[in-house]
Every structure is written in structure tokens, then in C-alpha cells.
Structure 1
Amino acid sequence: MSSLENVLYIQVGLGLLPNMFLLFFYNFIILGDRPKPMDLISCQLTFVHIMMILSEGDNLLANILESLKFGNDIKCKITFYINRVMRGLSICITCLLSISQAVTISPSTSSMAKFKNKVKKHIIYAFFYLWSFNLSFSSRWIFYVAGFTNVSENYQMKVTKSCSLFPMNYIFRGFILTVIISRDVFLVGVMLTTSTYMVIILCRHQRQCKHLHSISHLRASPEKRATQTILLLVVFFVVMYWLDFIISFTSILFWRYDPVILTVQKFVMYTYPTIAPLVQISSDKRIIHILKFFTPNTSRFSKK
């Protein structure tokens, strides 16, 4: 068990560093001249990933609240609520990222082309709606999570070392699970649909390029690189999200959390926020140029 927890702590550190770098980078871009809608969405997603990592279990946010002399109940309610809000925002903003890129690369002759000029104008309204929905929908956890006392007497389900869930009414629990499953199936369906659409656009563009030029002269455009990155993120997100969802759904359905299963679930949940920024950094030429600028040029020293 301790080895699993050590791996989890290493994963948390590996997830925070690139996300903090990306957050700083996107804020710098946004404060500059004419940020792209994709930069705004990526900045939101990076912030959500940072907060999701910090608020999981007995991590940094819980330690900060404890140092501020918050009671165990208040600490559990705040961290659990923030974590659930961020998990909901993660799937929503990833879906928004996929939709925006599909609209961006759509040809001028397609029906989606008319939305290109509207994306930037309405992106703020989309953020407001997504944040409002997830903040309100996850508020139920404030009433059902508390400091851990005694599982056998109070029928609580332990979810961290110091926090537990109170049992919900079967009808209410069924209603909540139905809403969550419906939301997730819809959003994942939209992501898969837009991903399929982007793959078709890329394949069509590739055939046209091969027809006009030789393969040796083909170079990936920024739009193509961005699309390939988002496709990779969406596919990876869908796999990790449903693994996490199956574990969570099974635990809540049978009202039982095993410490090993809980640690594995955290590892699965951290995987996407850890890998996503690395994929974004390695595929964004702006970031690569910045890293090259700060990287020492060893070749000139070797010549001497």
C-alpha cells in the first residue's frame, strides 16, 4: 500500500509542474494581443487540472485548510466539493475544446463554418454556463460529506483518511447517478462525434496535399498539429474517465470503498491531468521556441 501511495505522490508532483508552467504561459498569451479561443479554453482546462490535483484527498489544499485551523468537517466539505466541481469541469471543458477545434478546422463550404466567427464571442458565455452548472450540481456533496467518525455505527463510507460520505436515499441516489451518467454519455458522445469529424477533415486534407505535392514536401500546418493534439487528448481522456467512472460507480452502488481500490482510482484520475500538459507542451511550437531559448546551446561549446 505504501508503494502505491509513493507512486501517487510522485504522480502528483509530475502533474503539478507542467500544469503550472502551462498556466503561466497561457496567462501571458491571454494578457497579450488577441488570444485565440483555444488558448482561453486550454488555460481554463489547465487551471481545472491544477485544482483537481490539489483538492484530491489529503493533499496540499487539505493541509492548507488544516493549517488555517479549519475543522475537519469544513476541510472535508471544501476539498471534496472543489474536487467534484473540477472533475465535472474537466469533462465539460475537454468537450468544449474538441468542439471549438472542429469548428476551427471546418472548411468554408461546411455548415459549421458559420460558427467560426461566433466561437470567440460566445466562449465567455460558455465558461459562465459550465462553471455555474457544475458549481450548483456538485453542491449536494456539501450535505453528504463530513469528517470520518465510525463506519460500523453510522454507515458512513470512508473516501479519504479523514473524510467519509453519509448514505443517500435510494431514490435520490438513483436520480443523481442517472443525471451524471446522462451528462457523461452525452459529452463523451459529442467528443467522439467531433473527433470523428476532425479525422475525416484531416484525411481529406492529406489526400489533397498528396495529390498536389510530393510527400517529401509535406509539412504539418499549425491547425493540423493542434487537431492531432486534441484528438490524442480526447481519446486518452475518454479511456481514463470511464475507468475512473466505473470504479466510482461501483463503489457508490455497493457503498464500499477499499483503500487499495481508492488509491488505484486516484492514480487513474491523476493520469489525464498529468499527461495532458506534457502532450500540449510537446506539440505547441510557441512553447518549444521558449524552451529552446532558455536551453543552453551546447553545440557552440562543443566546437570550442
Structure 2
Amino acid sequence: MDLKFVILFLFPIVIGSLGNFSLLWHSICLYFSGCRFRSTDFILRHLTVANLLVILSRGIPETMAALGIEDFLNNVGCKMVFYLQAVGKGVSFSTTCLLSVFQAITISPRSSRWAELKVKALKCIGPCPVICWVLHMLVNIRVPMLVSDKMNNTNIINTIDYQYCSAMISSKDKISIFAALRLSHDILCLKLMIWSSGSMVFVLYRHKQRTLHIHRHKIPSRSSAETRASQSILTLVCVFVSFYVLSSILNVWFSLYYEASWWLVKISALIYACFPTLSPFLLMTHEQCVCRFMWKK
């Protein structure tokens, strides 16, 4: 049993699950209480579900492996766990991008051109997260084919050992249509995040400059709800990109050096769970009503 990794993996399971469940529960309560519905709330619910999927499907097996429990997943279990991880991570990526884009459109200037875009965006907000789930279910359909349990893994070459399962790294996978689709998706989402984040920074800067003279001789008032939401989503995007870059570097390392050391595999798993664990707290930092709701309980 490796106690330090047990503690490290229990942290995202307990803290991350608590944060995501709290944010999801609050969003549902607001919906049924008839409170004002923000355009990003629907996307936020899908993000929390995807985060929970990543945390539980990755954190629980890693914790059990760190406890020294062996052969607790059969071949079907391994395939299911890794498939859920891949789908959850992909949906988390897509919905974070959607949050950023829709928030940039929400705080955009009220010109006729932007007003028309806002109307179209509100019509798309419902089906977009659903499309993300379907897309990642299809794109990651090959993941179960590359995963097996330890007992059925006869091909010990070009595999990553996760202690409870093994994942095969095929050279053909680098040029497959599935790899191309995943790469295209990631590049598109990163470009959209950069554009939307830059737009939000520009709009918030202009708003601050316009209102600067009003508050020059007065006590600054609290920032508006839209400003707080934009700041939290900007922080969320920056944190996501940071962890995505670290995860991508490790994935490149695994593809080049098949026999990865066990501690590097564990670090990769921790990085995998960092964003889903931190994201609800980053969003709640600027959502004062959410924080009050949590701590009154």
C-alpha cells in the first residue's frame, strides 16, 4: 500500500465531488425555485456532470490500486472505466470552451450585429452540450479497443501499466482518423478559448475605463454579476489550459517512451483529476450567492 498516493487520490474524490455536487445542486435548486436563469447555467450543469465522471472513474480505481488491491477490474470493467474517463474529459473540455464563448457573447457590445448573434447563441445553448456528449461518445469509441485488464494483456510491448489495467499505445493510432478528430477538436476548442478570453478581457477593460471617472471620488461599488461571471470563467479557462498543456506533454512522453515509470503514470493521473476538482471552486469564487448557499448548510 502506498499511503501518500492514497491520500493524494482521496483528495480529488472527496473535495472535487463535494464541490461539483454542491454547484450542481445549487444550479438545480435555482432552476426549480424560479430564479433568473443565466444563459451559461445550462452549460455549467453539463460541465459539473462531466467533471464528476472524470473524478470518480479515474480517482476510485487509482485509490484502490494505491491501497494494494489487485485484479478488482475485469476486462469489461477496464474498458468501461477508460471509456468514461475519455468521454468525461472530452465533454469537460468542450463545455469549458462553450462557457467561455457564450460568456464572451453575453457581455459583448449591444450593437445590432452582436444583438443578432446573441439571439442565435441562445437558441443553440440547449443542443450544444448534448451534441458534445454524443460527439465524444463517438470519437472515443476506439478507447475500449486499446485497453485490457492485466490478466488478458498478452502483448506486453508498447503498453502503459496503470496497475489495475493496461493501455496499448499503437503506432497506427497516431495517424488514425480517431486521433485526427481528437486533435482537430482540441485545436478548435483552444482557438475558441483564446478568442473568447481575449474578447472578454477587451470588453472588461473598456468597461473599466468608461466607469473609472465615476468611481474616482467615490467608494467603488461591487462588480456586476456579468463581470464576476466573466472573471471566474477567464480564471477557469487559464487553469484548464495550464493543466491541458501539462497533460499533453505527458501524453507525448508516453507515446515516445512506452515503458513509463510508475510515479510518472501516477502524476499523470493526478493532473488528469486536478481541473475537475478545482473548477467548481474557481467558479464559486466570484459567485457570492453560491458561497453563501453552501456555507449556510
Counterparts of residues 188-227 of structure 1 (less than 5 Å): 188-214=190-216, 216-227=219-230
Please state if 1:161 is matched with 2:182.
no
Please state if 1:251 is matched with 2:260.
no
Please state if 1:240 is matched with 2:243.
yes
Evaluate the alpha carbon distance shift between residue 153 and residue 86 of structure 1 in structure 2; reply closer, same or farther with a 3 A threshold: closer
Structure 1 counterpart of 2:139 = 137
Evaluate the alpha carbon distance shift between residue 90 and residue 120 of structure 1 in structure 2; reply closer, same or farther with a 3 A threshold: same
Do the aligned partners of 2:147 and 2:168 also contact (CA within 8 Å) in 1? yes
Structure with more of its chain in helix, by fraction: 1
- 1:41, 1:244 → 2: CA distance? 24
CA displacement at 1:30 relative to structure 2:
2.9
**Equivalenced residues, count:** 288
3-state DSSP of counterpart to 1:216: coil
CA displacement at 1:114 relative to structure 2:
1.7
- 1:82, 1:62 → 2: CA distance? 17
Q: Which moved more, 1:131-140 or 1:34-43?
A: 34-43
Counterparts of residues 1-304 of structure 1 (less than 5 Å): 2-33=3-34, 35-56=37-58, 58-59=60-61, 72-109=74-111, 111-149=113-151, 153-155=155-157, 157-168=159-170, 170-175=171-176, 176-214=178-216, 216-291=219-294, 293-294=296-297
State the TM-score, normalizing by the size of structure 2: 0.87
Paired AA for residue 15 in structure 1: G
Paired AA for residue 239 in structure 2: F
CA RMSD of aligned residues (A): 2.6
Do the aligned partners of 2:91 and 2:132 also contact (CA within 8 Å) in 1? yes
Unpaired runs of 5+ residues, structure 1, are: 64-69, 295-304
| 1:19-44 per-position Cα deviation (integer Å, ceiling 9, x unaligned) | 11111111222334363221111111
- 2:59, 2:295 → 1: CA distance? 37
Do the aligned partners of 1:55 and 1:62 also contact (CA within 8 Å) in 2? no
CA displacement at 1:243 relative to structure 2:
0.5
CA displacement at 1:158 relative to structure 2:
3.4
Paired AA for residue 122 in structure 1: C
- 2:186, 2:3 → 1: CA distance? 33
Paired AA for residue 132 in structure 1: V
Identity %: 26
State the TM-score, normalizing by the size of structure 1: 0.85
Paired AA for residue 258 in structure 1: S
- 1:280, 1:93 → 2: CA distance? 14
Q: Which moved more, 1:284-293 or 1:223-232?
A: 284-293
- 2:220, 2:200 → 1: CA distance? 23
- 2:128, 2:135 → 1: CA distance? 11
CA displacement at 1:72 relative to structure 2:
0.2
Unpaired runs of 5+ residues, structure 2, are: 66-71
Evaluate the alpha carbon distance shift between residue 183 and residue 3 of structure 1 in structure 2; reply closer, same or farther with a 3 A threshold: same
Paired AA for residue 8 in structure 2: V
3-state DSSP of counterpart to 1:158: strand
Paired AA for residue 8 in structure 1: F
3-state DSSP of counterpart to 2:148: strand
Do the aligned partners of 1:102 and 1:194 also contact (CA within 8 Å) in 2? yes
Q: Which moved more, 1:204-213 or 1:90-99?
A: 204-213
Do the aligned partners of 1:29 and 1:39 also contact (CA within 8 Å) in 2? no
- 1:129, 1:271 → 2: CA distance? 25
Evaluate the alpha carbon distance shift between residue 60 and residue 110 of structure 1 in structure 2; reply closer, same or farther with a 3 A threshold: farther
- 2:110, 2:121 → 1: CA distance? 15
Do the aligned partners of 2:9 and 2:63 also contact (CA within 8 Å) in 1? no
